[in-house]
Amino acid sequence: MKLTKHEHACLVLEKSGDVLVVDPGSFTMPLDDLRGVVAIVITHEHPDHWTPEQLDRILEVNTDARIFGPAGVAAAASTYNITVVADGDTHEVGAFTLAFYGAKHAIIHSSIPVIDNVGVLVDDTLWYGGDSFTIPPVPVDTLAVPAGAPWLKIAESIDYTIAVAPKRSFPTHEMVLSVAGKTMSNGRIEAATRQGGGEFFPLEPGETLDL
């Protein structure tokens, strides 16, 4: 399975000719060249994780692609056919097995409502929690670690990485960071990953990792 990191929180996975897209949002460059997409996972309703324009680009050439998301996504994207998923659900789609864990977005501020958020475990290999620090109830081979957001501080990302103890990790959710900020967060995440015996990959948009 090949992972390609795109800007911010968007990931594209390829396996046996099938393609899975995760969180194609507003901070990601237009995804207008994807073929073979069997599924799109949207972890929550915030626009940096999905937009109608990104969905339309993908669906225009992948008309049978299924969309998975929590109830909040189904409500926000009501003109699309969303398969609603919740904590503990598992779906087989194309060459992929998708297991969903978690229920709520991390707290941004007490004045801001907490929305639905589910993370996805792909083929028991890649765990991506969306905007949360949810730890799945299974060992994690590869962890997408959030590096910068209004809902986190780097200490939380460090603790999260140590708690999950993945064999491999890479940064995600970092378009809100400067170059200096990315360098700092990458260093912290790398140290936390190594503490658990894992290896860190400082992927940039367009770079790939074989899982």
Last residue of one domain, picked from the residues 111, 129, 147 = 129
Number of structural domains found in the chain? 2
Instruction: Identify the three-state secondary structure at position 36.
Output: coil
What's the rounded Cα separation, in Å, for the pair 143 and 148?
15
Within a domain: 166: yes
Domain boundary residue among 129, 155, 173?
129
CB contact at 8 A, 96 and 20: yes
Residues 53 and 86 in one domain: yes
Domain encompassing residue 186: 139-201
The three-class DSSP label of residue 173 is coil
Predicted pLDDT at 83:
98
Alpha carbons 81 and 64: distance in angstroms, whole number = 11
Q: CA-CA distance, 199 to 192, in Å (whole number)?
A: 10
132 vs 157: CA distance, rounded Å = 10
What is the per-residue pLDDT across 164-209, written as a single tens digit (0 to 9) for each?
A: 999 999 999 999 999 999 999 999 999 999 999 999 999 999 999 9
pTM: 0.97
Residue 61's pLDDT band, with cuts at 50, 70 and 90, is very high
Domain-embedded: residue 210: no
Token pair 């609603």 is found at 84
108 vs 128: CA distance, rounded Å: 19
Mean pLDDT rounded to a whole number for the chain: 98
Handedness of CA 49, 61, 97, 73 (dihedral sign): positive
122-168, pLDDT tens digit by residue?
999 999 999 999 999 999 999 999 999 999 999 999 999 999 999 99
CATH number of the structural domain spanning residue 61: 3.60.15.10
Q: Are residues 111 and 167 in the same domain?
A: no
CA 166, CA 182: separation in Å to the nearest integer? Answer: 20
Instruction: Give CA–CA dist 85/57, Å, rounded.
Output: 23
Examine the fold and report which residue of 76, 95, 129 is the final residue of a domain before the chain moves on: 129
Does any domain span residue 64? yes
* Same domain for 68 and 123: yes
So what's the pLDDT on residue 48? 98
